[in-house]
Amino acid sequence: MATTYKVLGQLASTTSAVALYTCPSATQTIVSTLVICNRAAAAKTYKVILRPNDETLADKHYLAFDTPLAANDSIALTLGITMDASDKLYVSGSDTNLSFSLFGSEIA
């Protein structure tokens, strides 16, 4: 099995949940860090959602829900999430001034 360390996804936010990363088939992924950057001069909120096998969204899937992030600030979340093929990590922000960067390892 080969391990590849990489940027798993980058996204400037939309206000609806968007899949930042989908674990490819025949692959397992370890998500190490999610960096969220608020580029606005006012506080914003974000959501992080993990949907195993892209299940229908339910309350159990939220890792963060309307979590505040101060103006012109960033946060690095050290997660250690394990993902299997077709699991998806979604993100959303309260407006389009949030950026998301996801880092981790793919094992294929």
Three-state secondary-structure class, residue 8:
strand
| Bridge pairing between strands 98-107 and 3-12 | antiparallel
The 88-93 sheet, strands edge to edge: 18-22, 88-93, 44-51, 62-69
Per-residue pLDDT of the chain (108 residues; tens, 9 = 90+): 799 999 999 999 788 999 999 999 999 999 999 999 999 999 999 999 999 998 999 999 999 999 999 999 999 999 999 999 999 999 999 999 999 999 999 999
Instruction: Report residue 24 as tokens.
Output: 């490819």
> Which residues, other chains included, contact 58 with Cβ-Cβ below 8 Å and sequence gap of 6+?
none
Domains and CATH numbers, the chain: 3-107 (2.60.120)
The pTM score is 0.94
**With b meaning 16 or more CB within 10 Å and e meaning fewer, what string describes 7-36?**
ebbebebeeebbebbbbeeebbbbbbebeb
- The pLDDT score that the predictor gives to residue 14 is 82
